[in-house]
């Protein structure tokens, strides 16, 4: 599809968010977290690349530090406090998901909180809420930095 065709296609949006899902809140929290995991990783990677030239190995290490469940869990309480009621419901549903596998690198509580964060990001992304997605991402980054440097 050419750029001209994309500009005429009503479903194409410039920026990060793609076509809006009709009812992202109706999706399972696991599905939302599946999408949110990718959204978060891409946003972290984009932020790191914008900070300036670094070797790819360093970029990878920095990205892994930010996207791991223990880091995401640090942001949970701050994000929860800033959420609307529908967003809190998504966080609650994501946190309460029954997971069959748990990584050894974090506690069950950290993993559930990280899943909740990812579910919220997936919900915002699929709902086409670009500005809110960016606000929540910025809050997550602040909370992670605060938690890592108390």
Active site (catalytic) residues: 37
Joined together, the tokens standing for residue 102 give: 């748990």
Distance, in Å, from the CA atom of 7 to the CA atom of 1, rounded to the nearest integer, reads 10
Q: Is 131 exposed, middle or buried (0-12, 13-18, 19+ CB in 10 A)?
A: exposed
* Three-state DSSP class for residue 20: coil
Query: How far apart, in Å, are the Cα atoms of 106 and each of 22, 43, 110, 133?
Result: 34, 22, 6, 25
């Amino acid at each position: 599809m050419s750029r001209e065709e994309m500009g005429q296609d009503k479903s194409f949006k410039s920026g990060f968010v793609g076509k809006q899902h009709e009812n992202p809140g109706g999706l399972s929290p696991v599905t939302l977290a599946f999408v949110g995991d990718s959204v978060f990783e891409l946003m972290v990677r984009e932020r790191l690349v914008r900070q300036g030239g670094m070797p790819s190995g360093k970029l990878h290490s920095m990205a892994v530090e930010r996207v791991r469940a223990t880091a995401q869990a640090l942001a949970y309480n701050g994000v929860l406090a800033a959420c609307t009621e529908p967003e809190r419901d998504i966080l609650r549903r994501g946190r309460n998901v029954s997971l069959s596998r748990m990584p050894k690198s974090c506690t069950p509580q950290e993993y559930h909180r990280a899943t909740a964060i990812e579910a919220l990001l997936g919900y915002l992304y699929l709902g086409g809420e670009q500005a809110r997605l960016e606000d929540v991402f910025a809050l997550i980054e602040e909370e992670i930095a605060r938690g890592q440097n108390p």
